[in-house]
Structure 1
Amino acid sequence: MSIAPVVRELPGMDRTTRRTPNLAHALARTAIRTPGATAVVFRDLRWTWAELDRRVDALAVALQRRGVRPGSVVLTHAPNCPDMVTVMYAVWRVGAVWAPTNFRLDPDDVVALARHVEPVLFVCHRDYPAHAEALAEVPVWSLGDDPDAGAADGDDVARLVAENDGERPVAYAPRVDDPVWLFFTSGSSGTPKAAVLTHDQMQFVVTNHLCDLMPDLRTEDATLVVAPLSHGAGIHVLGHVARGARIVLLPERRLDPETAWRLVEQERVSTMFTVPTILNRLAQDESAARHDRSSLRYLIYAGAPITGKDLGRDLEALGPVLVQYYGLGEVTGNVTVLPTWMHEPPPAPGEIPPAGIERTGMQISIQDEGGNELPPGERGEICVCGPAVFAGYYANDAANAKVFRDGWFRTGDLGYLDERGMLYITGRDSDMYISGGSNIDPREVEEKVLRHPDVAEVGVVGVPHERWGEVGYAVCVPRAGSRPDPATIEEWCRSNMPGYKAPRRVVLVDALPTSGYGKVTKKLLRALLEERGEWPTEAEAS
């Protein structure tokens, strides 16, 4: 018996004619439903949803009058500030594409991004004049921390909002697959790529976040933004706009745990999005115990693996409020979720904590190098499909050909699914090193090294070696108050793990290097070792 192939599109159905809601529609809907409720809190400023929506309308009118059209790219370089939210929603309302940078990037880095995505407008914070000057060939608008104080000259978001206050733009009605956000991925080397996110994809992402991460989010809730809105924190905020839950911004750019916990108590904050490095600082700071945290229901962390040691400490300090998700910018975080009720006591020392189960509407496949699906317990590349997967990289056919195979998005991460469907991430394919013919995942080694009582943090990287090809170097942060001997830790490693996995050298540092995205990358570890003269020279490695 044969089965006829499924018809991919019904007669007369052309998906390019299908409409999808504009991502900015959620703001307009919330402003109608709860106009007087607080939307944004920053220092002494408190905007209502009606005020925020009115500002977005006014700036959208200014964008249209300056020739910004559907599909135009608007590059934005700014730390978290109230009008960052105004800009993102105004850009979307007119059908343009928002391209926010990491505000820690140097001017040359931003210029490289601009050359790649060709923006028609650059919105730049007033505290970064060198960046604005570097992109002088592109029209520049400024914005600042104080929305009521525009720049003395030139185009400024505050002034443009005031000039067009009360006017309504021609709202754009997008079609399926219309781009909305160029999401610059952090990457491990080279210039970050721009992942194209679309209106319909992001509508699914918002729904999925509300379903899997914050299932009972309500209008009276609030989120404290402790990470850049340009990336994961910006995605997290979208669900709060849809629900009408207020957005609380830190008063300063540097994270101060005392200030963060004071705001949690003062604003009755119920959610936060963090990365593990921020989570650890918040949870392990003594100020956490001095403030009322009873309103906090979901402290969500993502962006990098968490160690078993840190997970145990954080759970003990904060209680059952932790939610982990795994996913890259290309999948906008929607691969797995480990909800509060699945956060069990940490695994045995040296074991890898789980990354969670498949997000609703998404599917994971662990595949070998040939694209064949592997059974539970076998390690391979984590591949994923579903509505949260991005449309592809902007103007980068080579990268697209590399990351898509037979319809699956290839994450480049390695891991396995257990019999329950729980995902365990063992590392990135690009981070692996080969020692004596054996593939070694740095993360597995890191978990073992963390069992040493005097090691608080560790990053392992493979370095060239004449005999073995590569060997592992462990960059360790000692436990507070301890002064261990690197040779003693090296000997302990040789006694507590297979010899080929044991780090050949231990280097002690005060802190591990992190990227602007809060990640400890192998590139940064190598740079640190090179700076200290610890990285083998070509003569030493050959």
Structure 2
Amino acid sequence: MTGLPVSMRVMNLAHFVTRNARRLPDGPALVWGERTWTWAAIDAAVSALAAGLRARGIAKGDRILVHSKNCLDMYVSMFAAFRLGAVWVPTNFRLTPQEVVPLAIDSGAKALLCHADFPDHAAAVAAGCPGLGFTWSIGSADFGEAEVGAVVAAHAGTRVEDAPVTYHDPCWFFFTSGTTGRSKAAVLTHGQMAFVVTNHLADLVPGSTERDASLVVAPLSHGAGVHQLVLGARGAPSILMPGDRFDIDEAYRLIERHRVTNLFTVPTILKMLAEHPAADRYDHSSLRHVIYAGAPMYREDQKTALRRLGPVIVQYFGLGEVTGNITVLPPALHTLEDGPDARIGTCGFERTGMQVQIQDDEGRELAPGETGEICVIGPAVFAGYHENPEANAKAFRDGWFRTGDLGHMDEAGFLYITGRASDMYISGGSNIYPREIEEKILTHPGIAEVAVVGVPDPTWGEVGIAVCVTREGASVSELDVVTFLTSKIARYKMPKRVLFWEALPKSGYGKVPKRMVRDELEARGELAVPLAAARG
């Protein structure tokens, strides 16, 4: 068809708050400790903060860096940035000052909103980011020219309308976790995120309304922030943990008190929730969707979660660059039995509106069962990395986003992740995928956690080291693990060493990056051991 007007104008994401304030003015929007803010109060605070930022020179397209723990002002800052047509640039509050500075520089931040607990971060960014115009503190602090709460109070009653935006206008710089190098700013746009919200509501938390409630157990700077935006679109309240330390007993208390219906987390945290005795002390029958993502969940951990929480767990696979929208495995497909219909190890099927393909190194689609790179197209794919043409050239091929993850699909279209391309190692000419070995080790009753990494070896090129964490009270030796694996994996896949640590290193998002495991191995001097001769 020709002659039709073409419009890329889309809804500004801040309209979610406006709509909720009209329809549900007295409905709970945010709960933090003993305080509850209504949608009318949140909408007023968003406008007041937007007015203050505008008065200070922030305009459409400007980037606002936010370094903060989860709190009211951080939540409000997201929608205030959106309302102005500015770009919200949150960072993980667990990063060091030296890690935050390059993010400020790379994003071109014009303003910094920094939690009062992080004066060193504020000072480092102010000194290292020449384009920074000003710093405001979140909470009372000795740094910054103003405090966010005071700014909101000073502009109370001022109404700021949503800036007009197009599909491609950026709204959020979502920093990748940086497990393979320096973090990059993935550009998320208003149009893309409107699709993401709709997709999450359809595929992850279907049937959600304002009568639902979500518990926030992860930093709002990343996946949890997306999830709260999704629930906010339905007018449902978000409940913040009262402290910045994850307290499982408190989490269950809040679930019972607020009749929480959903939460978003990562496999390591879900494992902790499922294994904790608090699961038996509190009523968690209100839960309908316990969503885990960020890494595949081991089969034994899935079973534990199903036994303790019931048929409520939902898995999705998706990177920050695709905002979580690649596959979904809903509750009905999480089974306790390991029968032929269980599809053990799958992370689900394609999300609504998205297409997934397994490709070889030349970009050719591979047949079912063949291992290759997981690639994806669809409206949830990000606009690219901010001012990083080299990274963009590597990330896209013929319009497909290359995830860097390896896997295969079965005949029915269910996806199975083998691991990160960077995690795979080659030993004696054979490709070895750590996840396969980790799954087998975790079936040992005495092993709670494990990470298998490939390290250089003069004889075989690379060999595997398995780092295990035993369950409380269990006594397991290297020989025990090797004997246990003998009938379960081929000899060439057998780790050449098995180590036992009190805990595995974890990122600020609860993941266990293999890079951090390798770094710890090196720090402990384990890489100096002649691996080829470690067990003969």
TM-score scaled by length of structure 1: 0.94
List per-residue Cα deviations over 1:16-46 (Å, max 9, x = no partner). x520100111110111000011111101211
In the superposition, relative to structure 1, how do residues 150 and 450 fare at CA in structure 2: closer, same or farther (>3 Å)?
closer
SS at match of 1:376: coil
Deviation of 1:467 after TM superposition, in Å, equals 0.7
Q: In the alignment, residue 523 of structure 1 is paired with which amino acid?
A: R
Deviation of 1:170 after TM superposition, in Å, equals 4.4
Name the counterpart of 2:381: 389
Name the counterpart of 1:341: 332
Name the counterpart of 2:519: 527
Correspondences of 1:96-495 after superposition (within 5 Å): 96-137=86-127, 138=132, 139-144=134-139, 154-345=145-336, 347=338, 353-495=345-487
Please give the alpha-carbon distance, in whole angstroms, between the structure 2 residues aligned to 1:234 and 1:408.
Answer: 26
Deviation of 1:190 after TM superposition, in Å, equals 2.1
List per-residue Cα deviations over 1:168-188 (Å, max 9, x = no partner). 124311012000000000132
Please give the alpha-carbon distance, in whole angstroms, between the structure 2 residues aligned to 1:348 and 1:458.
Answer: 25
Deviation of 1:481 after TM superposition, in Å, equals 1.2
Moved more, 513-522 or 176-185: 513-522
List per-residue Cα deviations over 1:348-372 (Å, max 9, x = no partner). 79x9521011111111111111111
Please give the alpha-carbon distance, in whole angstroms, between the structure 1 residues aligned to 2:447 and 2:253.
Answer: 31
Moved over 6 A (4+): 149-153, 537-541
Deviation of 1:196 after TM superposition, in Å, equals 0.2
Please give the alpha-carbon distance, in whole angstroms, between the structure 1 residues aligned to 2:141 and 2:173.
Answer: 27
Name the counterpart of 1:95: 85
SS at match of 1:496: coil
1:81 aligns with 2:62: no
Contact 1:60 1:90 in 2 (8 A): yes
Please give the alpha-carbon distance, in whole angstroms, between the structure 2 residues aligned to 1:348 and 1:494.
Answer: 23
Deviation of 1:89 after TM superposition, in Å, equals 0.4
Deviation of 1:480 after TM superposition, in Å, equals 2.1
Deviation of 1:487 after TM superposition, in Å, equals 3.0
SS at match of 1:132: helix
Contact 2:29 2:42 in 1 (8 A): yes
Contact 1:303 1:328 in 2 (8 A): yes
Aligned Cα RMSD in Å?
A: 2.0
Contact 2:136 2:144 in 1 (8 A): no
Overall identity of the aligned pairs, in %: 54
Q: In the alignment, residue 24 of structure 1 is paired with which amino acid?
A: A
Contact 1:309 1:450 in 2 (8 A): yes
Deviation of 1:74 after TM superposition, in Å, equals 0.4
Please give the alpha-carbon distance, in whole angstroms, between the structure 1 residues aligned to 2:280 and 2:372.
Answer: 41
Contact 2:409 2:415 in 1 (8 A): yes
Q: In the alignment, residue 182 of structure 1 is paired with which amino acid?
A: F
List per-residue Cα deviations over 1:27-77 (Å, max 9, x = no partner). 101110000111111012111000000000000001111111111010110
Deviation of 1:340 after TM superposition, in Å, equals 1.0
In the superposition, relative to structure 1, how do residues 503 and 153 fare at CA in structure 2: closer, same or farther (>3 Å)?
closer
Q: In the alignment, residue 482 of structure 2 is paired with which amino acid?
A: E
List per-residue Cα deviations over 1:216-271 (Å, max 9, x = no partner). 11111110000110000000001211111011000011111110000001011111
1:24 aligns with 2:14: yes
1:50 aligns with 2:29: no
Please give the alpha-carbon distance, in whole angstroms, between the structure 2 residues aligned to 1:254 and 1:279.
Answer: 15
In the superposition, relative to structure 1, how do residues 13 and 501 fare at CA in structure 2: closer, same or farther (>3 Å)?
farther
In the superposition, relative to structure 1, how do residues 150 and 474 fare at CA in structure 2: closer, same or farther (>3 Å)?
closer
Please give the alpha-carbon distance, in whole angstroms, between the structure 1 residues aligned to 2:144 and 2:502.
Answer: 45
SS at match of 2:30: strand
In the superposition, relative to structure 1, how do residues 250 and 280 fare at CA in structure 2: closer, same or farther (>3 Å)?
same
Contact 1:337 1:356 in 2 (8 A): yes
SS at match of 1:241: helix
In the superposition, relative to structure 1, how do residues 378 and 405 fare at CA in structure 2: closer, same or farther (>3 Å)?
same
Which of 478, 488, 494 aligns to 1:496? It is 488
Please give the alpha-carbon distance, in whole angstroms, between the structure 1 residues aligned to 2:151 and 2:242.
Answer: 24
Contact 1:196 1:391 in 2 (8 A): yes
Please give the alpha-carbon distance, in whole angstroms, between the structure 1 residues aligned to 2:85 and 2:403.
Answer: 29
Name the counterpart of 1:3: none
Which of 23, 36, 42 aligns to 1:33? It is 23
**How many pairs does the alignment contain?**
527
Q: In the alignment, residue 439 of structure 2 is paired with which amino acid?
A: E
List per-residue Cα deviations over 1:250-301 (Å, max 9, x = no partner). 0011111110000001011111001011111111100011111121111111
Moved more, 522-531 or 402-411: 522-531
1:515 aligns with 2:510: no
SS at match of 1:497: coil
Contact 1:415 1:424 in 2 (8 A): yes
In the superposition, relative to structure 1, how do residues 479 and 538 fare at CA in structure 2: closer, same or farther (>3 Å)?
closer
Contact 2:448 2:469 in 1 (8 A): yes
Please give the alpha-carbon distance, in whole angstroms, between the structure 2 residues aligned to 1:368 and 1:209.
Answer: 29
Contact 2:372 2:407 in 1 (8 A): yes
Deviation of 1:154 after TM superposition, in Å, equals 2.9
Contact 1:352 1:426 in 2 (8 A): no
Please give the alpha-carbon distance, in whole angstroms, between the structure 2 residues aligned to 1:360 and 1:496.
Answer: 37
Q: In the alignment, residue 136 of structure 1 is paired with which amino acid?
A: A
Contact 1:20 1:175 in 2 (8 A): yes
In the superposition, relative to structure 1, how do residues 30 and 439 fare at CA in structure 2: closer, same or farther (>3 Å)?
same
Contact 1:308 1:352 in 2 (8 A): yes
Please give the alpha-carbon distance, in whole angstroms, between the structure 2 residues aligned to 1:426 and 1:312.
Answer: 20
SS at match of 2:136: strand
Please give the alpha-carbon distance, in whole angstroms, between the structure 1 residues aligned to 2:530 and 2:486.
Answer: 26
Gaps of 5+ in 1: 1-6
Contact 1:464 1:536 in 2 (8 A): no
Gaps of 5+ in 2: none
Contact 1:414 1:427 in 2 (8 A): yes
TM-score scaled by length of structure 2: 0.95
SS at match of 1:471: strand
Moved more, 450-459 or 208-217: 450-459
Please give the alpha-carbon distance, in whole angstroms, between the structure 2 residues aligned to 1:347 and 1:367.
Answer: 29
In the superposition, relative to structure 1, how do residues 413 and 248 fare at CA in structure 2: closer, same or farther (>3 Å)?
same
